[in-house]
Amino acid sequence: MSFQVFGIPVSRGVAIGRAVLVASSRVDVAHYFIDEAHVPGEIKRALRARDEVARELESLKEDMPEDAPHELAALLDVHLMLLHDEALLGATRQWIVERHYNAEWALSAQLEVLARQFDEMEDDYLRERKADLEQVVERLLGAMAAELGKGQVGAAQVVQRDFAGEDPLLLVAADIAPADMMQFKRSVFHGFITDIGGKTSHTAIVARSMDIPAVVGTREASRLIRQDDWVIIDGDSGVVIVNPSPIVLEEYRFRQRQSELERARLARLRHTPAVTLDGERIELHANIELPADAVSAVEAGATGVGLFRSEFLFMNRGGELPTEEEQFQAYKAAVEAMKGMPVTIRTVDVGADKPLDRMSANELRHEHVLNPAMGLRAIRWSLAEPSMFRQQLRAIYRASAFGKIRLLIPMVAHLSEIRQILETLRRVKQQLDDAGQPYTHVDLGVMIEIPAAAVMLPLLLPHVDFVSIGTNDLIQYTLAIDRADEAVAHLYDPWHPAVLQLIASSIAQARAAGKSVSVCGEMAGDAAFTDLLLCMGLRSFSMHPSQIPSVKQRILRADSQKLKLALPAILASEDPEKTASLAFAATSQRLH
């Protein structure tokens, strides 16, 4: 039966394929594809876990006191029966063999299948056995984790082949952790669907960075969609169509082909300089997460890296921090890949929607705060961990010997933070001098993403070389909206007058002080905001490489001098979006 699920469109385009469900277990489960050579080993891991759990349950039965309730022994028998049921481990084996899931993912996938079967049973007693099944699976996952903890290494290897055959795969989940997203980014999925999230949640940002359609905030998708259902993701309207009819399927296949043709047309602008009709040259920089992304930035025609999110070097490491040498090699690789173009490295911004795998003493306090988006994150965390911070800064300065690097500090809100940063930089450079390590001048910049920083910008500007406006958090904090919460996603409004006032004044003040200013939030990569940012005086945009062609096309058709005449009316308007639309449409007609 065909049905639709509605959510928030966050990455445009159409994706058609089979659903792959990532179940939300109470036990953290790694999700990755394994290579053919690791299939037998993963099956053996699952079987060893079964045998270990069986021994535990048998031991519990043997050690049970004589006065123990009869129901307790019966419950252990039920768990043993479920453990040896071919519907659990036999089908788990099939997920490993046919889809090349790692053992934990395969077991979770089969749990999802069986749990739904239990939910549909009419008998109350049988329906309640789902809890027993979940407990058995959690024991199995715990046994696998314990085995790894003893040094038994699993086949944790992400591969890039599509083991589903010719059918594209679409990922469906309640939510996707940033660490998992980085694994999936290098994998085979053609689209994402999640129950929670908003337009600037991390899942949405990574989906856009992969240039694949995504719908978030669906609330029920992971419960309603089944493994291997045929699904259409309409990333333009936020609609998910499950088991579509042949007519609907053909309509969306046509739209898919049209989208691919448009993408190919825009790709031809790659080597065209981004210059407005009135001769203003615009910098189009790239946002990247890993050094390898720099190659995509160059291929897309980026003129530099405006935001290297260094925190992704800290993820998927079991809580272990990267060494100074590891970071140095990563930053050096990015700098060299950009072939002399500038690379702006943001210091680690963990916290909120990007926690580390395991917390230190300071972070543990952060993990349990009620609102992590306002807790110990970004520069606050770095200053609370001075040894880690100095290590990262040394790595960044060492990499500066191989190309132009700019240092960007996130979430600054106090002058005292700037003073601590400057003192830390002085110590770092002294350490490098004492060690005979070469480095060159590194420009210092701050992110304007807290309203307080935007308001006090005149006090910050004398201490920095540039500023970068992070619109995602600036909107979140200005409007008191959790950008990852689908319940209030409709209130997240980049066109809100207060937001536009803060952005416009930040750009104007930075330019008046002779300091360079860029926008690196999602507004920069959305062509709907290109004319607005140009009329505010912005001349440096930073976005994911895949977004550069559409923004460049808008710039090539714009006259910045004529556009800026509309700014006073836009900022004074009760409905800035409508005012901007009318003003820019009139400007476009005059130009053509």
Tokens of 579: 């005012």
Strand pairing class (230-234; 14-22):
antiparallel
Question: What tokens does 66 get?
Answer: 């004589």
Assign 237 to helix, strand or coil.
Answer: coil
Q: Is residue 504 within 8 Å of residue 567, measured between CB atoms? A: yes
Q: Residues 139, 53: contact at Cβ < 8 Å?
A: yes
CA distances from 107 to 8, 29, 35, 325, 436 (A): 30, 10, 18, 37, 53
Nearest to 583 by CA among 548, 558, 553: 558
Q: Which residues pair with 541 in a beta bridge?
A: 284, 519
In the chain, the amino acid numbered 393 is L
Catalytic residue selected from 38, 100, 366, 520 = 520
Burial (CB < 10 A; 0-12, 13-18, 19+), residue 339, is exposed
Catalytic (active site) residue 535: no
Structure tokens at 340: 């002399």
Identify each DSSP E strand in 219-372 by its residue range: 230-234, 239-242, 283-288, 305-309, 343-346
**Is position 202 annotated as part of the catalytic site?**
yes
Q: How far apart are CA 220 and CA 30, in angstroms?
A: 23
Catalytic hit among 38, 190, 202, 366: 202
Q: Which of 539, 551, 544 is nearest to 283 (CA)?
A: 539
Q: Is 331 exposed, middle or buried (0-12, 13-18, 19+ CB in 10 A)?
A: buried
**Active site residues per annotation:** 202, 520
